[in-house]
Structure 1
Amino acid sequence: MTTSARAVRFDRYGDRDVLYVAEVPVPEPAPGEVLVAVRAAGINPGEAAIRKGLMRESFPGTLPSGQGSDLAGVVAALGEGVTGFQVGDEVLGYSWQRSSQATHVVVPATQLVPKPPALSWEQAGSLYVVGATAYAAVRAIDPKPGETVAVSAAAGGVGTLVVQLLVLRGARVLGIASPANDAWLTEHDVTPVHYGDGLAERLKEAGPVDAFIDLFGPEYVELAVALGVPADRIDTIISFEKAAEVGAKAEGSMAASTPEVLTEMADLVASGKVELPIAATYPLDRVADAFAELEQRHTRGKIVLLP
């Protein structure tokens, strides 16, 4: 087996130019861990915020730092005591050590699940963060059949899954997005509502709104309150201070980071009941370009690195 790996690194906080790919030793799995040869690793907005140093108080780390949570690949080695996996198994899962954007990564066996054969590498390698976040947000507002739920950033990486999970629960979904996403939202039984001036009036006309999921920023939590949505029916995955201020929920990926949830989400995508759009793929060496596209904040679906 190869002894050399390649991994995304940054030595200081900053813009995308701080990112580089380093030659590193292949990590060895400790007891309870699995070494995975990575085939795909998704990228997420939170990683850009961490790299810029915007989250160093809530998510402290050490430099040089790796990057990435999402991963899918092939089991290359097993640490002592690992059962349930064999070398050669195809898996997907997540790292909490900012390490998945690499050719090889070690993770606890409890953070991996089998990859369904029908799931592409790109989908499997980008499912964890958006899948767990979407699952937690929908569960937090507990939609009932026939209720109307508004979703901000409805065509983004998390939003595309949120709106589909809501439809599966029988909710009527108002997807707040740009006009460019009208066709995709309509095809997935979501009513498009354009963001920008006059949004509150457009939502009132389409409402009344029973629950609200914010995937973008505090102004949407304020909007939900102004629309009369009860605080316990508002969930935000990003606006934590505003949520605390108004009494809204702030449940995201950490609330649903379990093998059971990941397996359920993988099966939904593999079966075709939920679509996980792949917006673009990049080789590991072009990680900065991948984040340049992501940070435009107009991507429908996921951007994925293919080590």
Structure 2
Amino acid sequence: MKALQFAGYGEPNVLVVADVPEPHAGPGEIRIAVRAAGVSPGDAAIRSGAWRDRVPLTLPYVVGLDAAGVVDEVGDGVDDVRVGDPVFGLRFRGGTTAEHALLDAWAPKPAGMTWEQAGGAAGSIETAVRALDALGIEAGRRAPIDGADGRTVLIDGAAGGVGAIAVQIAVARGARVIGTASPANHAFLAGLGAIPIEYGPGLPDRVELPIDAALDVAGHGSIAELVRLTGDPDAVLTLIDPRAGEHGVRLSRFDPTADLRGALRYGAGLVDVGRLVAHLADVYRMTEGAAAHARVATGHARGKVVLTVP
């Protein structure tokens, strides 16, 4: 089968489409015929080697951590899907940007999502749910609600793939949301239900509301200011900044033992009731993998970058 892989760390041009053996579903896994796969900053960090200590690999490595497609194999112990079901989900060890991919966690693809939207949604939903739960923004709630609960969360880097999903989930959970982005993305954030402000140094001078919690999605060095805004390092969470510990701030990491299927089903439920839209920044073909990774590296994508397969 065809897959997008790299044999050595480096710039996006190390990515090539190659023939690789087909995977087969083991216990607790499913295999899908992939229609689309997401490209995230994490994928780019893995490819570049920036995460080589955090995510050790055996090379060559097929890229991609989330995807959507049609189930064509079901492993032992799996009883919630059948061959032919449309799903979206995650693969912890990568390999989703291929004609066939294994998934460790999945949920039914909502009818209201295109294949492209579903292909890039799972990683963003899982990350946003994990982060908001950890910050206590209606932690553990598994149904959309109406009406603000009085808490205010600031999301730094709110227009990207994870940020835009986190804004919508926080709003659905009843929080007031302040989102940072470039001015060009302010109308987009307002449409998601956030109060937009410009990103960059000087956040405490631009934020008028008291902040109960803050989520750093961008990793642009804002942690000290976020602690100042909340008044409590424990009220700040970062998804990407490795210097979090210097400020007493938590760094959120992927936990394969968590209720990942529950998080994905929760996100799918929000889509079904019109509370969540997976916005797309750009869609490329699998043969354009290098261009897609370069697009993510700009750090200015509004929504998720996705690759269609084949």
Deviation at 1:102, TM superposition (A): 0.6
CA deviation profile, 1:144-195 (whole Å, cap 9, x unmatched): 7222221110111111111122222222221111100111112222111112
How many residue pairs get aligned? The number is 298
Structure 1, unaligned stretches of length 5 or more?
none
Deviation at 1:241, TM superposition (A): 3.0
Match of 2:161 among 153, 157, 163: 157
Matched, 1:141 2:135: yes
CA deviation profile, 1:80-133 (whole Å, cap 9, x unmatched): 45433222111111111210011111234xx22222222221121111111011
Match of 2:218 among 210, 213, 216: 216
Cα separation, partners in 2 of 1:201 and 1:271, compared to 1, 3 Å: same
Structure 2, unaligned stretches of length 5 or more?
139-148
Deviation at 1:269, TM superposition (A): 2.0
- TM-score, length basis structure 1: 0.91
CA deviation profile, 1:209-261 (whole Å, cap 9, x unmatched): 2211111126211111223531221111112332x222222225437551111
Q: Secondary structure at the match of 1:63?
A: coil
Cα separation, partners in 2 of 1:115 and 1:143, compared to 1, 3 Å: closer
| Aligned counterparts, 1:1-307, within 5 A | 5-108=1-104, 111-143=105-137, 145-203=149-207, 206-217=208-219, 219-242=221-244, 244-254=245-255, 258-307=260-309
Task: Give me the whole-angstrom Cα distance separating, in 1, the residues matched to 2:54 and 2:109.
Answer: 32
Task: Give me the whole-angstrom Cα distance separating, in 2, the residues matched to 1:295 and 1:93.
Answer: 23
**Any conservation in 2 of the 1:134–1:252 contact (CA below 8 Å)?**
no
Residue identity opposite 1:15 in structure 2 = E
- TM-score, length basis structure 2: 0.90
Task: Give me the whole-angstrom Cα distance separating, in 2, the residues matched to 1:124 and 1:186.
Answer: 23
Deviation at 1:207, TM superposition (A): 2.2
Task: Give me the whole-angstrom Cα distance separating, in 2, the residues matched to 1:269 and 1:37.
Answer: 23
Q: Secondary structure at the match of 2:200?
A: coil
**Any conservation in 1 of the 2:5–2:17 contact (CA below 8 Å)?**
yes
**Any conservation in 2 of the 1:75–1:88 contact (CA below 8 Å)?**
yes
Deviation at 1:196, TM superposition (A): 3.2
Instruction: Note the aligned Cα RMSD (angstroms).
Output: 1.8
Q: Secondary structure at the match of 2:287?
A: helix
Between the aligned residues of both structures, percent identity stands at 40
Residue identity opposite 1:239 in structure 2 = D
